[in-house]
Chain A
Amino acid sequence: MRRTRPRRWPRVAAPLLVGVVLLALWEVVVRVEQVPVYILPGPVAIGKSLWIDGPSLFGSLLVTLRITLAALAAAAVLGGAIALLFSLSRLLEISLFPYAVILQVTPIVAIAPLIIIWVQQPFLALLVCAWIVAFFPIVANTTVGLNSADRNLLALFRLYGASPAQTLRYLRLPTALPYFLAGLRISGGLALIGAVVAEFVAGTGGTETGLAFRILEAGYRLAIPRLFAALFLLSMTGIAIYLVIDFISRLLLRHWHESAIEEQEE
């Protein structure tokens, strides 16, 4: 049964209030216990650092964001295409799927150094790392979606003499859309994680410095408030990516899919 949905404003205000209370508590503890700023800075110190270093951190954020979004786009396009190939040929699916799994379960930290050696161009190397992390949920989900078409609808399409292309366009693709979008939602976060991990491994190898490198650098220099400020920007970016994908997903599915239906209009 449907949970009673809270009204609109508590959905925003309630978590916000929790956040404010936690931040206040954090500040109080740091001040009362006199925790040194190089171990745990309070929110005020972090805010100050965010204000001062904001512009330069924001520049680094754009570098990381560019890798993340490029990797996500590549994951969506190539992941979707691979899933499509899998759905067209069962043989292809059973022969290649295990390798997709191997790529997925191998920790990216372990293979990133190799990729950085092999791929000369730094941006491309980071992109490949982030892509490897991000593409699997899309492939796995979309493959399931493409094979989930309703049996009776498939029979109906056969009865009306539908071509394979028509069955794909009018039946398999729409069926797979919610699956693809669910995969995309997971991949959005993973692409960011992949980009950050790759930047960590690459270190100063790149000419441009992304946010992950700024975190490392701040750590070495014990500029802990700046480290927290960069961390804060990273989290906000992850949330923003999630919200954008969630919005697109609701927009595309709002008429028919249970996951996107706002209110029961009965």
Chain B
Amino acid sequence: MNRRPAAAAAPIVALRGIAKRFRGGVTALDPIDLEIGRGEFLSLLGPSGCGKTTLLRIIAGLSEPSGGERHLALTPDTPGARRRAGTAGRIGFVFQDPTLMPWGTVIGNVLLPFRLKGRVGAAERERAAAEIRAVGLAGFERAYPRQLSGGMRMRVSIARALVTDPDLLLLDEPFAALDEITRLGLNDDLMQLWESRRPTVVFVTHSVFESVFLSTRIAVMTARPGRIAAELAVDLPQPRQRALRTAPAYAALCAAASGELAAAMGEGGGR
């Protein structure tokens, strides 16, 4: 089952020999080679502490690798906008926690990427409002995060990540802290958002079911040191809807992914 699908012609993310050692000598990532094609939905699946989050932060540029090269092919931002603007806003990031500013309203939080670019006009406000509608929070624009449920806060976080129409959307176990019902609802909605716009997504998760339902490709990671043990193409039909969760093909792929994960943990020191 270890098919290695070739990434599309020009990969949007190309990692070559990316390694990460923390001070104190802990090796978080063994040299990793990974290419992610434009429009792919890639899941990084692995046990806790396998370096998935570290890898995601390196892709985002939030963490420097100790070795190796990272290439991103992002569309440049509007030229001449601002000095360091560059590719700011071409990457959207969703953390494990909603990571909202508690003093800001929903719309204030979603407008943050524009505010940091130094322009918040009528167009930006309309864009943010549209994004809030897209994640199903119409009518909550003026609400404060503390007035929202955990799932709703995560929706705000997703709207903020999508508001700049990023080329690359990075999600770090965004639904891990949510209950099952909320989680399934958010999976469906994320799928719908992805299908309508097709950004490239890298999704970190430790849930086999989630990764199979959402991804076009799964990279299974092992812990200590983190490396990619296996890759798995998920050739399920698009668009993916709720009914898929009970389809035999889905079950078969979940079994395959579980097998890869178990094998990876067995060999990779899942002590």
Asked if A161 and B116 sit within 8 Å, CB to CB, the answer is: yes
Q: How far is the CA of A155 from the CA of B116 in the complex (A)?
A: 13
Q: Are B95 and A152 in contact (CB under 8 A)?
A: yes
Having A155-B57, A160-B88, A257-B103, one finds 17 other A-B pairs with CB under 8 Å, namely: A153-B101, A155-B95, A156-B99, A156-B112, A158-B62, A159-B62, A160-B89, A160-B117, A161-B84, A161-B88, A161-B89, A161-B116, A162-B116, A170-B112, A170-B116, A177-B103, A255-B144
Task: Report 20 cross-chain contacts, Cβ distance below 8 Å, ordered by A residue.
Answer: A150-B99, A152-B97, A153-B101, A155-B57, A156-B99, A157-B116, A159-B88, A160-B88, A160-B116, A161-B85, A161-B86, A166-B115, A170-B101, A170-B112, A170-B115, A171-B101, A177-B103, A256-B102, A256-B144, A256-B146
In Å, the complex CA distance between A110 and B57 comes to: 55
B253 to chain A, nearest CB (A): 32
Residue contact A159 to B61, C-beta cutoff 8 Å: yes
Q: State whether the Cβ of B225 lies closer than 8 Å to any Cβ in chain A.
A: no
* Proximity string of chain B (143-176) to chain A, C-beta cutoff 8 Å, 1 when within and 0 when not: 0111100000000000000000000000000000
Q: Taking the complex as formed, is A174 at the interface, i.e. its CB lies under 8 A from any CB of chain B? A: yes
* Residues of the B chain whose Cβ atoms lie less than 8 Å from the Cβ of A258: 146
Asked if B113 contacts A160 (CB within 8 A), the reply is yes
Is A263 interfacial (CB 8 A cutoff)?
no
| Contact B99 A255, beta carbon cutoff 8 Å | no
- In whole angstroms, how far apart are the Cα atoms of A160 and B103 in the complex? 19
Taking A170-B116, A256-B103, A256-B146 as contacts, is the C-beta distance between A159 and B95 under 8 angstroms?
no
Whether the pair A166, B99 counts as a contact (CB closer than 8 A) is no
Chain B window 64-91, contacts with chain A (Cβ cutoff 8 Å), 1 for yes, 0 for no: 0000000000000000001011101101
Q: What residues on B are CB-neighbors of A262 within 8 Å?
A: none
Which residues of chain B have C-beta atoms less than 8 A from A152's C-beta? 95, 97, 99
Contact residues, A208-266 vs B (CB, 8 A): 255-258, 261, 265
Chain A 172-196, CB-CB to B under 8 Å as 1, else 0, gives 0010010000000000000000000
Q: How far is the CA of A168 from the CA of B31 in the complex (A)?
A: 37
CA distance A177 to B104 in the complex (A): 13
* The residue from A160, A161, A257, A265 contacting B112, defined by CB atoms under 8 A apart: A160
